[in-house]
Chain A
Amino acid sequence: MSKNVATRDAYGDILVELGKENESIVVLDADLSKSTKTHGFSQAFPERFINVGIAEQNLIGMAAGLATAGKIPFASTFAMFATGRAYEVIRNSVAYPKLNVKVCATHAGITVGEDGASHQSLEDISCMRTIPNMTVIVPADGVETKAALRAITEYNGPVYVRLGRLAVPTVNDENTYKFEIGKGVQLKDGKDVTIVATGIMVSEALQAAEKLAEEGISARVINIHTIKPIDAELITKAAKETGAIVTAEEHNIIGGLGSAVAETLAENYPVPMKRVGVKDTFGESGKPEELMVKYGLTAEGIIEAVKAIKK
């Protein structure tokens, strides 16, 4: 495994590459370019970088207008403000007219850390996936972030990409990884249970599977990078073949991956399941790693859920 990379850093890097290849790309930010990592693009293509100041509604509204004129706007700010403050602009000005706006929000989840609950977006997946026309993507690592960004640039329509602040382990191989919107990735086969994870919880899921193997439990691991449209086929197949599902996400257990998987299973092939995630509560200040332990967003948390389900 290579070194840890924050998905926001990978985002900043790929934006510059994409900017060279595609002159239609414009990037908008709301005074957070050094944090969201759109700063690199702003230096490389100053004429195609629009800082709207601390004004997230206008960030999205202006992006929508640019998209009507054939631009491919990437709008970035923190996930909290993109999907909270500007929710209705995304719904009415981007998703309803199906405009080609990419909302790439960073600092999602509890691993924002020290800034505390006001900045820890734990509802964004839920808010975005209930909007018609919207595609929702949560990359697990830097490799997947770059591949996803390339794919959504080619796709014509609104997309929400959830990115993180914290450097996370790289789970995908840069040389071989293929990303397809809406297609989950089976990272490890197993027969007793399937761990369906997204974002930074994918690497925790892989660790959990290794430890479970030592205890004689064979766990399949699936990375669902696209929460919407969800890969119902892969999830249903896993339910049929392993008989139990544990979901893992750095998000409220209400409305996110766990809910999307539960909806899929309930309609296609119900099996026992558990959701690992933040248990419908706000976060707090602390180091990201401390918060992950406190809120159960760890390999151990996943193992506990697997054991509870397999009892």
Chain B
Amino acid sequence: MKDYQLLKDTATSIRKSIIEMLHEAGSGHPGGSLSAADILTVLYFHEMKIDPQNPKMADRDRFVLSKGHAAPVLYGVLAEKGYFPKEELLKLRKLGAMLQGHPDMKGTPGVEMSTGSLGQGFSASSGMAMAAKLDKKDSRVYTLLGDGELQEGLVWETAMAAAHYKLDNLTAIIDYNGLQIDGPNEKVMGINPVGDKFVAFGWHVVECDGHDIEQIINALEEAKATKGKPTVIVAKTIKGKGVSFMENQVGWHGNAPKKEEADNALMELGGEK
């Protein structure tokens, strides 16, 4: 068994970036960014056919952050990958800066779709997958949805259409951390059983631990091997993963860490300030 230390280190580095940029910004969404760090690390540093020096490369794979509020994890990954200088991260959410509160495809290299209004990124990703099919290209489209996002009607319009058109080049990943703004999913508006719902909509469903690099890799391999239908990976995650006082705390959905909190978080993540 490989230990994937390099990917693990990268994910930790992304988590540090998330803490630093959110502290600097003074607002934003740490919980759902930290929960997705391992998934995005695997996508960008292991899975996807992309070129940071040529962000618009023809036939590239595409990633759409449908849960656009987790922008910090995407920005962290893009900067780490070299799409833009890391200094930009510390200007997140500031007037005149490149990095908007939610992803803006016009202004930020590597951002494939402007998102933030839940459900819409998923829908757009299905259009991208459709375009690749029309052009008979083998590029793949990945999209990350929040669990609470599954409450949006548009998600199911998209799920129905993607299966109908057999978009097997589309892989949706659910960042299933179980919490949304007003509390646990099941208390706010139950989404279970998530896998069964997608099966009923005609999708191939894979479940995995969204913090286990090897499981994420295997799930993506299974998605690629699945023909004739799109795949959804239900990735079980922990909101705020990696920072003990943020883990599973709904209050860290949309609050930025203050100085001391940020320092403590960075300490935990193994970095000296």
Given A50-B165, A57-B153, A57-B157, are A62 and B126 neighbors across the interface (CB < 8 Å)?
yes
- Which B residues touch A58, using CB under 8 A? 123, 126, 154, 157-158, 161
Cβ-defined contact, A26 with B134, below 8 A: yes
Given A57-B119, A70-B131, A88-B117, are A93 and B124 neighbors across the interface (CB < 8 Å)?
yes
Scan residues 89-108 of chain A and give those whose CB is less than 8 A from a CB of chain B.
89, 92-93, 96-98
Shortest CB-to-CB span from A92 to chain B, Å, is 5
Contact residues on A (Cβ < 8 Å of other chain), bracket: 20 to 34
Contact residues on B (Cβ < 8 Å of other chain), bracket: 20 to 34
- Residue in A26, A70, A89, A97 whose CB lies within 8 Å of B104: A97
Measured CB to CB, the residues of B under 8 A from A are 104-106, 112-114, 116-117, 119-120, 122-132, 134-135, 153-154, 157-158, 160-161, 164-165
Sample of 10 more A-B contacts, CB < 8 Å, known A58-B123, A65-B113, A67-B127: A52-B157, A52-B161, A57-B157, A61-B123, A65-B125, A65-B127, A68-B124, A92-B116, A93-B120, A96-B104
Measured CB to CB, the residues of A under 8 A from B are 26, 47-48, 50, 52-53, 55, 57-58, 60-71, 73, 88-89, 92-93, 96-98
Cβ-defined contact, A65 with B134, below 8 A: no
Given A55-B157, A57-B157, are A66 and B128 neighbors across the interface (CB < 8 Å)?
yes
Shortest CB-to-CB span from A88 to chain B, Å, is 6
- Which B residues touch A53, using CB under 8 A? 157, 160-161, 164
Given A61-B154, A65-B113, are A93 and B130 neighbors across the interface (CB < 8 Å)?
no
Interface of B (DSSP majority class): helix
Interface of A (DSSP majority class): helix
- Which A residues touch B153, using CB under 8 A? 57
- Which A residues touch B119, using CB under 8 A? 57, 61
Cβ-defined contact, B154 with A68, below 8 A: no
Cβ-defined contact, A66 with B123, below 8 A: no
- Which B residues touch A98, using CB under 8 A? 106
